[in-house]
Amino acid sequence: MRNYLILLAALVSFTGVTASATKTGAIISASHNKLITVTGKITDVTGTPLEGTSVGSAGKNLTQADVNGKYSVVVNDGATLTFVSLGFVSQTIKLKPGQKTLDVILATGDRALNEVVIRGYVKRSLDQTTGASYIITGKEVQNNPVANVPQLLQGKVAGLNIQNNFGAAGTRGSVNLRGLANSNYDNAYQTPGDESYSRISENQFRDPSTTPLSTFAVDVDAASYANVRRFINNGQLPPKNAVRIEEMINYFKYDLPTPTDGKPVAIKAEFSVAPWNPQHQLVRIGLKAKEVKLDKLPPSNLVFLLDVSGSMGEPNKLPLVKTSMKMLVDQLRPIDHVAIVVYAGDAGVRLESTPATEKEKIKDVIDRLYASGGTAGGAGIMTAYQIARQNFIKGGNNRIVMATDGDFNVGPSSNKDMVQIIEDERGSNVSLSILGFGMGNYKDSKMELMADKGHGNYAYIDNITEATKSMVNEFGGTLFTVAKDVKIQVEFNPAKVQSYRLLGYEDRLMAKEDFNNDQKIAGDMGVGHTVTALYEIIPVGVKDSFTASVDPLKYQKLDEKANPNNTSSEVMTIKFRYKEPDGDVSKMESVVVADKPLDLKKTSDDFKFAAAVAEYGLLLRDSQFKQNANFEQLISMAKKAKGSDDDGYRAEFIRLAESTKNMMKTATVTAVNYQK
């Protein structure tokens, strides 16, 4: 199987089309101080030019080979060059003193490919073609004048499934071919095989007598819901690690009290039974950020950081990015400014900071963007921060808005690299918001981490409706922070609570000491944002099969004061901290929850709807804590709790849950398992 795919990659350029890489990278070292210009040509063993090959030196990607495989770089005399092309063995070559030309031949790699990119047509003789391949002939093009490349290739090459439906015959539009899931190459790989999701270890039930405090940072991200919706609408169950319950819940807006007395955030708690286990209880904690009229918001210094690498050439990527960013431009005011930074094999500034009064100029730059080359995401982020600092508005909204599929591979690209770059910029007071696009090579794990570390939010945009939601309907919440480093800490009363569990927020948990430590970053809330968190509680006296017992301690006794002498009627105390957008010292507020659970029927529509979404997440994850969760119950509850639903988002959820229920009845549906 591995050899088959590698052979296919080497032969694609002979089969009536020319193969080239869209994702490349290089790590090189160099010496000497005299600068020289080195030129050359890069080919495979048959002499076929390798367009898009990355050429690097001194740890930087310098350029990429053109359509004829030619390159030109300025480097130190005697430098070391590295040449990298997807599907080929990279070469590192040290130049001789004074050497100004270097032609390179790359051999086919020895590992399976996840992606082959086909561009246009070139003529190849039959004796140049061997192995399992397929030639698109002129006759076929004549017989199918309206056919595109995928239509002509579909079913012609064993073991491959054409994923895209664009790239008209005779054009240079990219077409991605995805590799196989296993060694049986007779079965086409029907699911995207290069997406990345961080592993989620679900929160366990905790005993409040030993762990009375639960602490976490709020999270207003909603990317998980839109991404899950994409999977379901494409006829697939999502990978379990793509289902982050807190983001599923927080995709929806809730009717919560507006802050008063000039405060940026207000809190409300609601207490009832857990729908999936009536013997258990459910507490909903709701936070609401203040609303601010658009003309009262501070001026914005925005940097659009746009991925224009080769992998963004698909219809649901760069074209959708362009439309989304132009929507955002239309929302800006005369006092706002926009700069545009792009990155592919390297990073560059396409538009210096420009007042939003010049909307047509900004849109024209966006319209002229095209996809090509590797993905120097790290370099792009560093350049964007630099531009944001240069145009910093004191007291304003200084923010990078990054649009990408997250698939970095040139220069600094690992999650660790990204965290380091963003943490180095922590003192700049520039926020980083992430907009994710596309599928197949989607790197959710990287983008979620970057947004969390960058004092920003993270959304996934899979269609124009979602773009409208993020860029227009929720414009203020997307871009303008009203409270930063928002944390919640809950203390449970062991006289009332036998054990408790936080649903979701696994990657936002904090040490109990971090709650009072203003140096620890947490989540931000934008204009009008709402945040919901759910705790499942097992009351004292209810049989508990989730909390394992341990032997009594030998050297110390647990504090027994809380139980026999505790007559408090409180179930829990909820504290939350926040900072003003330009503040460094947090403020704290608190609220208590009395032991007076409401009948589920008497709870608010928001309580019931949030519980229904949580139950849906438990089923999608096949959670060990799903208990008696079922689709019929959650769909019925969601329908009764739909409320006004002016935008139709809750109705869409109900349809999504109904589709998922039907899918799960079909034995042929399988979920894809991705992990970080």
The last residue of one of the domains, among 479, 497, 512, is 479
What's the total number of domains in the chain?
Answer: 2
Q: Enter the DSSP assignment of 472.
A: I
Does residue 548 lie within any of the structural domains? no
Q: How far apart are CA 306 and CA 348, in angstroms?
A: 10
**Residues β-bridged to residue 217:** 487
pLDDT of residue 568: 82
Among 446, 479, 512, the domain boundary falls at 479
pLDDT band for 595, please (50, 70, 90 cuts).
very high
* Mean predicted confidence (pLDDT) in 462-489: 88
Band of pLDDT at residue 412, cut at 50, 70 and 90? low
β-strands 91-94, 80-84 pairing:
antiparallel
pLDDT digits (tens, 9 = 90+) for 613-641: 999 999 999 999 999 999 999 999 999 99
Q: Residue 620 has what pLDDT?
A: 96
Model confidence over 646-671: pLDDT tens digits?
A: 889 999 999 999 999 998 876 444 44
- Residue labelled with tokens 């449970």: 492
Task: Classify residue 217: in a domain, yes or no.
Answer: yes
Same domain membership, residue 582 and residue 518: yes
Residues 395 and 525 in one domain: no
Give the model's pLDDT for residue 184. 29
Nearby residues of 502 by Cβ (< 8 Å), 6 or more positions away:
203, 214, 216, 509, 533, 534, 535
259 plus 364 within the same structural domain: no
Q: Both tokens of residue 619?
A: 């089923």
Q: Say if 226 falls within a structural domain.
A: yes
pLDDT at 559: 56
> Lowest-confidence range among 277-291, 541-555, 581-595?
541-555
Q: Looking at residue 606, which CATH number applies to its domain?
A: 2.60.40.1230
Which of 28-42, 73-87, 320-334 is predicted with the least confidence, judged by mean pLDDT? Answer: 28-42
Between 347 and 415, the higher pLDDT residue: 347
Count Cβ atoms below 10 Å from residue 55 Cβ, excluding itself.
27
Residue after which a domain boundary falls, among 429, 451, 479: 479
**DSSP assignment of 407-445, as one string?**
---SSS-SHHHHHHHHHHTGGGT-EEEEEE--SSS-BHH
pLDDT of amino acid 601: 94
Spatial separation of the C-alpha atoms in residues 535 and 505, rounded to whole Å: 11
- Residue 665 burial (CB count, 10 A): 9
Is residue 89 situated within a structural domain? no
pLDDT confidence band for 33 (50 / 70 / 90): low
Is the per-residue pLDDT at 401 higher than 60?
A: yes
The Cα–Cα gap between 595 and 122 comes to: 75
8 A C-beta contact, residue 657 and residue 631: yes
HEC readout, 5-63: HHHHHHHHHHCCCEEECCCCCCCCCCCCCCEEEEEEEEEECCCCECCCCEEEECCEEEE
Q: What is the 3-state secondary structure (H, E, C) of 275-293?
A: CCEEEEEEEEEEEEECCCC
pLDDT above 60 (res 41): yes
Quote the domain boundaries for residue 339: 294-479
Confidence of residue 583 (pLDDT cuts 50, 70, 90): confident
User: Beta 300-307 vs 397-404: how paired, if at all?
Assistant: parallel
For 539, the token pair is 């009351």
284 and 298 co-located in one domain: no
**Encoding tokens for residue 329?**
């431009």
The pLDDT value recorded for residue 152 is 53
Residue 525 lies inside a defined structural domain of this protein: yes
Q: What per-residue confidence (pLDDT) applies to 561?
A: 45
Across the chain, mean pLDDT equals 80
Q: Flag the least confident range among 6-20, 214-228, 305-319.
A: 6-20
pLDDT tens figures, 337-392: 999 999 887 788 999 999 999 999 999 999 999 988 877 788 889 999 999 999 99
Q: Span 411-418, mean pLDDT? A: 71
CA distance 456 to 408: 20
Average pLDDT over residues 214-239: 93
Task: Indicate whether 262 and 357 sit together in one domain.
Answer: no
- For residues 88 and 65, is the Cβ–Cβ distance under 8 A? no
Is 175 among the domain residues?
no
For 286-342, the pLDDT digits (tens) are 999 999 988 889 999 999 999 998 889 888 899 999 999 999 999 999 999 999 999
pLDDT above 80 for 22: no
Same domain, yes or no: 526 and 600: yes
Q: Cβ distance 41 to 11 under 8 Å?
A: no
> What percent of the chain is modeled with pLDDT above 90?
49
Domain match, 600 and 456 both: no
Residue at 444 is within a domain? yes
Angle at 583 between CA 304 and CA 530, to 5 degrees: 65
Instruction: Show Cβ contacts of residue 465 under 8 Å, excluding neighbours closer than 6 positions.
Output: none
DSSP label at 241? G
pLDDT digits (tens, 9 = 90+) for 148-185: 445 555 555 444 444 433 333 333 333 444 333 333 22
Shared-domain flag, residues 437 and 310: yes
Q: How many Å apart are CA 260 and CA 263, to the nearest integer?
A: 6
Q: Is residue 456 located within the same domain as residue 366?
A: yes
Whether 117 contacts 174, CB under 8 Å: yes
- Give a yes or no: residue 142 inside a domain: no
Q: For residues 184 and 181, what is the distance between their CA atoms, to the nearest angstrom?
A: 8
Residue 649 near residue 277 (C-beta atoms within 8 A): no
Q: 216 with 443: CB under 8 angstroms?
A: no
| φ, ψ dihedrals at 648, nearest 5° | 80, 10
Amino acid occupying residue 551: D
Question: Is the model's pLDDT at 61 over the cut of 80?
Answer: no
Higher pLDDT, 144 or 287: 287
* Arithmetic mean of pLDDT, 434-438: 92
Instruction: Spell out the residues 6+ positions from residue 140 whose beta carbon is closer than 8 angstroms to its own.
Output: 147, 152
Say what the pLDDT of residue 192 is.
44
- Residue 393 pairs in a beta bridge with none
Q: Which amino acid is at 552?
A: P
Closest CA to 19 of 54, 64, 49: 49
Q: Does residue 673 surpass a pLDDT of 60?
A: no
Residue 14 has pLDDT above 70, yes or no: no
| Whether residue 562 has pLDDT greater than 50 | no
Q: Which two tokens mark 59?
A: 């740890």
pLDDT band at 274 (very low <50, low <70, confident <90, very high): very high
CA angle 645, 651, 655 (to 5 degrees): 175
492 and 397 belong to one structural domain? no
Tell me, yes or no, whether 575 and 626 share the same domain.
yes
Structure confidence at residue 153 (pLDDT) = 53
The full DSSP string for 572-618 is: EEEEEEEE-TT-SS-EEEEEEEES-PPPGGGS-HHHHHHHHHHHHHH
pLDDT of res. 151: 52
Sorted by sequence, the CB contacts under 8 Å of residue 310 that are 6+ apart come out as 20, 21, 22, 23, 52, 117, 174, 344, 371, 372, 373, 374
CA separation for the pair 641, 654 (Å, rounded): 11
Q: What is the C-alpha separation between 419 and 442, in angstroms, rounded?
A: 18
CA gap 613, 247 in Å, rounded: 10
Please count the other Cβ atoms lying within 10 Å of the Cβ belonging to residue 155.
12
CATH of the domain at 379: 3.40.50.410
Distance CA 189, CA 182 (A): 8
Both 303 and 272 in one domain: the answer is no
Element (DSSP H or E) covering residue 267: strand 265-274
3-state secondary structure (DSSP) of residue 466: helix
Maximum Cα interatomic distance, the chain, rounded to a whole number of Å: 91
